[in-house]
Amino acid sequence: MKISIITAVYNNRKTIRNCIESVLAQSHSSIEYIVVDGGSTDGTIEIIKSYGEKISHFISEQDKGMYYAINKGIGVSSGDVIGILHSDDFYATDDILRTVDAHMTTYATDSCYGDLLYVRKDSTDKIVRYWKSCPYREGLFLKGWMPPHPTFFVRRNIYEKYGGYNTSFRIAADYELMLRFLLKYKVSTVYIPEIIVRMRTGGTSNGSLRNMIIKSLEDYRAWTVNSLPRRFYTIPLKNVSKVSQFISRS
């Protein structure tokens, strides 16, 4: 199984090398690595270019944001399965993609996901938050559940059938996509009960109170654009559920 990994980046020279090397170190035998840069000016491009042909596709041009860049990467991908690894993130071990292949092949599913660790930006061995997921079942989204997006791998034909990221969403396009795939179109999935990705803290959605409000409003809209009935408690529970992820590490 060929797996395409897409990294969207803009002015992130401090962490892009760690991200790239975590992909290149994977033991899986068939990987296509696509890096889409938004026209960085801080030295990020030079770091990416230093890897030469180890990166399958490198695109660098101005775009309208991360989700535009990811869609661009999906458009040039040729793998059977697509995974998204943000430029602040890195895989937890060198065998992650091999594990993804094994689970999706064994269970014959269209997607998979696992657990996520949030780590300190300046010290990635320090765990801030542990996002432990669970096997998917009907009704979980209504209770505020969602899989950790960086751990979500999907077959490319699902993107071709149901579309990519909805770029009318500034922050919550990942939530909308997973809601659309798993709940609306009932794409099959399997849970991998292990840590897939380590993510540095400080992402856009939780970067400020304003962004948290925008994200919550977009979360509500994600249900509306997909004509899915939600409960009054769905989005509040989605926000509250994060608290236990901190408590579990105390």
Domain with 45, as residue range(s), is 3-247
Type and span of the H or E element at 38: none
Q: What is the pLDDT of residues 116-153, one digit of tens each?
A: 999 998 889 999 999 999 999 999 999 999 999 999 99
**What average pLDDT score do residues 39-57 get?**
97
Is the pLDDT reported for residue 159 higher than 50?
yes
What does the pLDDT read at residue 203? Answer: 57
Rounded average pLDDT over 174-200: 98
| pLDDT surpasses 80 at 80 | yes
Burial class (CB in 10 A: 0-12, 13-18, 19+), 112: buried
- Count of the separate structural domains present in the chain: 1
Q: Report the chain's mean pLDDT, rounded to a whole number.
A: 94
pLDDT of 204 > 60? The answer is: no
Q: What is the pLDDT of residue 212?
A: 81
Question: Judging by DSSP bridges, how do beta strands 123-131 and 81-84 pair with one another?
Answer: unpaired
More confident position, 22 or 205: 22
- Determine what percent of the chain is predicted with pLDDT higher than 70: 96
Highest mean pLDDT among 40-54, 120-134, 234-248: 40-54
Residue 202 has pLDDT above 80, yes or no: no
* Predicted local confidence at residue 208, as pLDDT: 66
Q: Using pLDDT thresholds of 50, 70 and 90, give the confidence band for residue 207.
A: low
The answer to whether residue 232 scores a pLDDT higher than 60 is yes
User: Is residue 199 over pLDDT 50?
Assistant: yes
Model-level pTM greater than 0.85? yes
Q: The domain that contains 224 carries what CATH number?
A: 3.90.550.10
Query: What integer pLDDT is reported at residue 250 of this predicted model?
Result: 42
Q: What is the DSSP letter of 178?
A: H
Q: In the predicted model, is pLDDT for residue 166 greater than 50?
A: yes
The rounded distance, in Å, linking the Cα atoms of 237 and 141 is 10
User: CA-CA-CA-CA torsion for 161, 190, 147, 32, nearest 10 degrees?
Assistant: -60
Distance CA 237, CA 249 (A): 20
Residue 189 CA to residue 200 CA, distance in Å, equals 26
